[in-house]
A and B are shown apart, each in its own frame.
Chain A
């Protein structure tokens, strides 16, 4: 069963705006990761946040984690058309670090 649930399912913004995606999960985790998938391509790892961390930055990406609410958010600042993709949160399982993915948020950035 899928662990994470992203919200919203789809998001459409204009270049330069910020995009915020949320993820909720059900069970305890060691790490939470965000991946990006361009249409017809494999997944690319964006950022990982550990369960004892609350916020992490990488370039234009900012991830927050609230373990009490079992939720995370991914913020992409100053979005570009090239950011158009699907974004998935993934949590590690108990059985040895395989990933449990949510259904993803489809982001469309228009010029």
Chain B
């Protein structure tokens, strides 16, 4: 079974620039999550999708971050414009169902450096 794919693996940009990350979840997984992991901390949920609908985006800085999951499969996370404090690893995860616990499978992450 193929895992969660993310690209790019690394990205370096200057502040005020824009950046986009892509995630392809495990085939058939209805739920997709984006987490932000700042160095030395645990991941923090940014947004959760169930199919192509948003379940939870309460911690997403909506003035600069946006995410979409067209057709309920792939997802993109965008930052526009980026700030220095956005430097982090952005992790995508997917799980089979929302109702009742299902194991979340994580991708390798995209390491973003904002200069």
Report which A residues bind B (CB closer than 8 A).
Answer: 2, 4, 30-31, 40-45, 48, 88, 90, 92-93, 95-104
- Are the C-beta atoms of A99 and B56 separated by less than 8 Å? no
Q: State the interface size on chain B (CB cutoff 8 A).
A: 29
Report which B residues bind A (CB closer than 8 A).
Answer: 4, 31, 33, 35, 40-45, 48, 50, 55-56, 58, 91, 93, 95, 98, 101-109, 111
- Are the C-beta atoms of B91 and A42 separated by less than 8 Å? yes
Which residue of chain A has its CB nearest to the CB of B47?
A98
In the complex, 20 of the A-B residue pairs with CB atoms within 8 angstroms, ordered by the A residue number, are A2-B42, A2-B44, A30-B101, A31-B101, A40-B111, A41-B108, A41-B109, A42-B4, A42-B91, A42-B107, A43-B91, A43-B106, A45-B103, A48-B103, A93-B45, A95-B58, A97-B102, A101-B35, A101-B44, A104-B41
Main secondary structure of the interface of A (DSSP, over half): loop
